[in-house]
Amino acid sequence: MKLSYIELAGAKHPLCFSLSATEEICEAFGDTSSMADAITAGSDIDKIKAIDKVLTILLAAGRRYCETVGMELPPALKGRPADVIDISDPSAVNAIFSTLQKDTERTIEAKSKNAAPTQDE
């Protein structure tokens, strides 16, 4: 599992796009494509709500992951992510998409069934 971090209220908080986070995002938005559209399209108030909702989900998943594997955590936010995000700062949206991208990247390594190439006669 790959973690991303966002700085909120003077501390770095972990974000995680885990299976449980994916489930919550799909329940809230229908699917991840609709979530991305909600963050990037529509009215400003709809974007703000979507950013706050997704960050809430990713932050909760990040805390659960860190607690499960025994990593140290900063104190939990006392309010919503939207309470400590500056409207003119794009870092929240960047953190969301960076987190989703990190956990959805796949490395594919092709291996031949044969150790050496065969030749036709």
> What mean pLDDT value characterizes the chain?
87
Interval 69-85: pLDDT, tens = 999 999 999 999 999 99
- Spell out the domain ranges in the chain: 3-104
How far is it, in rounded angstroms, from Cα 4 to Cα 83?
20
Q: Is residue 50 scored above 70 in pLDDT?
A: yes
Least confident of 9-13, 30-34, 76-80, 102-106: 102-106
Prediction pTM value: 0.81
pLDDT band at 27 (very low <50, low <70, confident <90, very high): very high
28-32 average pLDDT score:
95
